[in-house]
Amino acid sequence: MLTDIEIAQNAEMKKIREIAEDMGLNEDELESYGTYMGKFSDEYLKKIEDKPFGKLILVTAINPTPAGEGKTTVTIGLGDALKRAGKKVMIALREPSLGPCFGIKGGAAGGGYSQVVPMEKLNLHFTGDFHAITSANNLLAAALDNHLQQGNELGIDPKRIIWKRCLDMNDRALRNIVIGMGKRVDGVVREDHFIITVATEVMAILCLAEDIFDLQERLSKILVAYTYEGKPVTAADLKCVGAMTVLLKDAIRPNLIQTLEHTPAIVHGGPFANIAHGCNSVRATKTALRSADYVVTEAGFGADLGAEKFLDIKCRMAGLKPDATVLVATVRALKYNGGIPKDQLSEENLEALEKGICNLGKHIENLQKFGLPLVVTLNRFVSDTDAEIEFIRKYCEARGCKLTVSEVWAKGGEGGAELAAEVLNLLENVESKYHPIYDTALPITEKIETIATEIYGAKNVEYSAEAKKAIADISALGYGELPVCMAKTQYSLSDDPKLLGRPEGFTVNIREVYVSAGAGFVVAIAGSIMTMPGLPKRPAAEQIGIDEEGRTVGLF
């Protein structure tokens, strides 16, 4: 059986200009990045800004497990299936980060015969967006330390600097460092930190900005430090916002590629959902909605993270209204939630399925709380039995939603026909009554507790002394009415990755809270989540290389 990368390398792609022409773009409305990738021009984005939106379909999933769920694979396959059904459709995805590509998770191009291509370029440097974001972030860090070196006119307290450097790579050794060592001219000695690029506020800002001018305004609001008197210092105070904007002027334009079946796909922005807000850019989604009748998009990790932030942060800020939702699950993942080891998941086990399916049930309840029309789809594996599928079908029906079976990994768009038909049925017959789960006017603690109790199922929330003080300070500065971006493990509904299924009676522990003023939300970190991941004992990078013919191998 061919690997994902072999399937992608054997694909017959259309030139990106052909994809653009099929969408109705003229030659000047797409800037090519090689033969098979492009960026929409500012002229095209301006031309379509008054066009009405198509239908927005959100794909999300249960909590991820080592067994795999295939959310991106289903997203791409659904787009291809809708195209086969004669619909004008686009897919909107996030860009992959180099960190997980070389770490343990892998890339984010889908899988099997449900992929976006060119897969190698997408998973590696792509069009350079992440490099631009990293550069803009680190320019601000350099300007900050230069200000300290050049006399510190603003009176910045070096012990109250909150801006961190970044790198798009898993590197635990950079989490806590000391800079400025050496001679006097080498800078002010202080403790510093690195986070992964996808967790930065610059990434969040780029993904939430409406245009280049909104981007610049948001960048100017970034809080970087506090003075000795406790006054906030912003990026605007350091006078580098213009330069940061210039670095991002191309990165803010959405990218166009294609699926294996030549369905147009916009891939743009890539904040993680466990440590950031987990959605592709607002510009990407709106460009797709103005360019097609149906748009299929995804939100990162499980619905407790990606979907919650998509619905409570992105849709609220951008004025988007999802028309339908697809919740992805697998038999294997549900049995894993029922306590079965990974090496035994191919065996039929209805008892484990009955025990673990509560994870799916909680996500169904949560999405229904947002007022969204919902269909559950089972990303099918060859080991799934009819009895197991029928058990899940009845479970979903008892909760007011239909189960469909997807075989897009093996069959591409053809394998998503049943899912596409049910999605179209929902769009035609069930009205979306989408609404956020909380009012932003609530105090920060009440917003955190609403998410923790309503979405995660927690009994209560506890705050560290540092978190309590930060919440008081943030509220005093006037940021108390911003939405909340929760950072927690993706592997559990709780903040403990070992608690599988549907844990109850647990406490969510908030250890750190800070404001991303430019992005427009307050970040609350629960548990031991890391904003700079580390590599595993056997990183995926060990398997990646170039073969005798000069082709990349081992990427998937």
Which residues are marked as active site? 71, 73, 94, 105, 273, 301, 381, 409
**Helix, coil or strand: residue 39:** strand
Nearest partner of 260 among 68, 38, 111, judged by Cα: 111
| SS3 of the chain: helix, strand, coil, percent, to 5 | 40, 20, 40
- Give 301's contacts (C-beta < 8 A, 6+ positions apart): 61, 63, 64, 273, 274, 278, 490
- Give 115's contacts (C-beta < 8 A, 6+ positions apart): 4, 7, 8, 11, 73, 76, 109, 259, 260
**Residue type present at position 554:** G
CA dihedral 371, 278, 309, 222 (to 10 degrees): -150
Tokens 């927005």, located at residue = 56
Q: DSSP assignment, residue 238?
A: G
Cα–Cα distance, 450 to 369 (Å, whole number): 12
Burial zone of 414 (CB within 10 Å; 0-12 exposed, 13-18 middle, 19+ buried): middle
Cα–Cα distance, 295 to 90 (Å, whole number): 5
Strands 30-32 and 38-40: antiparallel
Nearest partner of 371 among 427, 326, 434, judged by Cα: 434
Cα–Cα distance, 23 to 1 (Å, whole number): 34
- Give 388's contacts (C-beta < 8 A, 6+ positions apart): 331, 348, 350, 353
Tokens of 61: 């999933």
**Residue type present at position 405:** V
